[in-house]
Structure 1
């Protein structure tokens, strides 16, 4: 019998990371440079395992094979790979200026899925900014010339952000998460990133991280207008694209919900605390927690004072190879 599934987060060390996940959520971190927590992931290099209940310790990929459509949903189970990746990012320094390819380019050049994603701003220091696209009128020639001169920032559109804002990041959009920002990131199951500029920094061994300018220039959509930001405006759908949907719900006392059998849901608590009740069993919902709600879950009840994000896939993922050949991290 399937139930709301909570997984053990997988910490990822990053050059721009820190201890924010410990400070914000009270989590134990293996180092003081943790930039990402992969909340729900089904990848060769990092696979989620159930944290509690009868299925404790079982890997997500194993559950997909065992339960099929009961877990994934009727329209998702026809794929051969788990379609989404859910993270929390803690940027204690600015990330590289980067871009993600779409599915077509990624399939041809990397043997992987492309990467569309969305950021929900959990918290931001006063004045914190993201890079969100290019300034109006910037051409590829302008971009290349500025990069050669070491003056790329003159081409970049910077936006001050606040907690609760939502920023879709489609393929082809130049972007970077800025210092002092923590986000929930829902994305396609891909970690394919092309770095354009990394602020001339080096790692603890004195080495600069690789750049991928040639490929980036092939996938950047010059003239692309950033599609956000926007705020949750009551309960309901916030974002829908080819790959996934994102919804927001505020619970003040109790809310009865019904899980769609078409596709699973990834639930994340972005404020407050409460519980999810299913077939007489309660499951704790704390700030920062994420759950996978199986497609066959049926009716459940949310109780407490909290704000929640609900992410669901809109299409199955088909990969030519079981191992994904992604590039690099932010």
Structure 2
């Protein structure tokens, strides 16, 4: 039996100018002395923000150190050959009390031209939506770079975007180069490439506690944005399916499925044909991961990393629960 086991990690909490309180009030997580928690990073291999294991024999070890030691046994041979010791995904919870900036992220090609590892394609799963919560994603018509610049100057950029009212369990796919802004009262799970690069194009004229506006990145955005009309990226799927695995997003960077379990039920998973780690993230309720060496409890707002060599697990629910299943193919 391998020494590797399903790994849990200590989350990192970040205060944001737009941050809310749902990480505490909905997910019952304590973010300490922060005024708010705009982002909770559940699993990260980003430089300077490596997640730290909090369960079992490897408690206290950093994720990327374990990848260096166990390589493909932990993340999958193909994943290790492609990404090396840098964990390829960043798993977050984002909780806005106010709109995030209108922003865009570079794709791999643009990112690598300026010395970054990769771009940032992402998806959102709505964990908790307040009444009238919405988001913006994609242009509602083709525009030119000059129209874009003019709209920033006269503060009409928002009129060019698609808006979607959101409800719990809605899903949105946001590829790199797509303009977007997450709205107030919309707490989401974000699955993304490992990158912290965002180009702000409009920040609603906000002033921080020091009386300053945040930096914008207009030139970078002009070189990045897809100016063509796009839909919002809302994903259609069977929200009523239970006790089964339903695909949400499949792209070169990640595959994400949702699993909804009735109370006191179980789902057997066999990953022996998959050459990848698997992340299970709790959305609501709680579940138990049972494997050859033991069990681990995962609550809403937590995640667990199932190593590539752990092929068979049971996902067991004592209560009705929802979770995301994420891997790379």
Deviation of the 1:51 alpha carbon: 1.0
User: d(CA) in 2 for partners of 1:237 and 1:89?
Assistant: 22
Q: Report whether the alignment pairs 1:157 with 2:185.
A: no
Matching residue of 1:114: 119
SS of residue in 2 equivalent to 1:219: coil
User: d(CA) in 2 for partners of 1:140 and 1:128?
Assistant: 29
Q: Report whether the alignment pairs 1:211 with 2:216.
A: yes
User: d(CA) in 2 for partners of 1:110 and 1:210?
Assistant: 21
Matching residue of 1:243: 253
1:197 aligned to which of 193, 197, 202: 202
Asked if 1 retains the 8 angstrom alpha-carbon contact of 2:164 and 2:232, the reply is: no
User: d(CA) in 2 for partners of 1:68 and 1:224?
Assistant: 42
Q: Report whether the alignment pairs 1:257 with 2:269.
A: yes
RMSD: 1.4
Asked if 1 retains the 8 angstrom alpha-carbon contact of 2:18 and 2:97, the reply is: yes
Which segment is superposed worse, 275-284 or 93-102? Answer: 275-284
Asked if 2 retains the 8 angstrom alpha-carbon contact of 1:173 and 1:226, the reply is: no
Q: Give the 4+ runs in structure 1 shifted more than 3 A.
A: none
Deviation of the 1:246 alpha carbon: 0.7
User: d(CA) in 2 for partners of 1:120 and 1:58?
Assistant: 29
Matching residue of 1:144: 149
Structure 1 gap ranges (5+): 315-330
User: d(CA) in 2 for partners of 1:94 and 1:152?
Assistant: 14
**Residues 120-177 of structure 1: CA distance to partner in whole angstroms, max 9, x if unpaired?**
0101111111011112233333222211212222212211111101100001111001
SS of residue in 1 equivalent to 2:23: helix
Matching residue of 2:100: 95
Structure 2 gap ranges (5+): none
Asked if 2 retains the 8 angstrom alpha-carbon contact of 1:98 and 1:174, the reply is: yes
User: d(CA) in 1 for partners of 2:170 and 2:233?
Assistant: 9
Deviation of the 1:44 alpha carbon: 1.8
Asked if 1 retains the 8 angstrom alpha-carbon contact of 2:16 and 2:39, the reply is: yes
User: d(CA) in 2 for partners of 1:139 and 1:23?
Assistant: 43
User: d(CA) in 1 for partners of 2:117 and 2:200?
Assistant: 17
TM-score by length of 1: 0.92
1:285 aligned to which of 298, 303, 307: 298
2:287 aligned to which of 268, 271, 274: 274
1:183 aligned to which of 188, 192, 216: 188
TM-score by length of 2: 0.92
Deviation of the 1:294 alpha carbon: 0.6
Asked if 2 retains the 8 angstrom alpha-carbon contact of 1:188 and 1:243, the reply is: yes
Matching residue of 2:308: 295
Superposed, 1:57-68 pairs within 5 Å as 57-68=60-71
Q: CA 1:176–1:95 in structure 2 vs 1: closer, same or farther (change >3 Å)?
A: same
Which segment is superposed worse, 101-110 or 148-157? Answer: 148-157
SS of residue in 1 equivalent to 2:143: coil
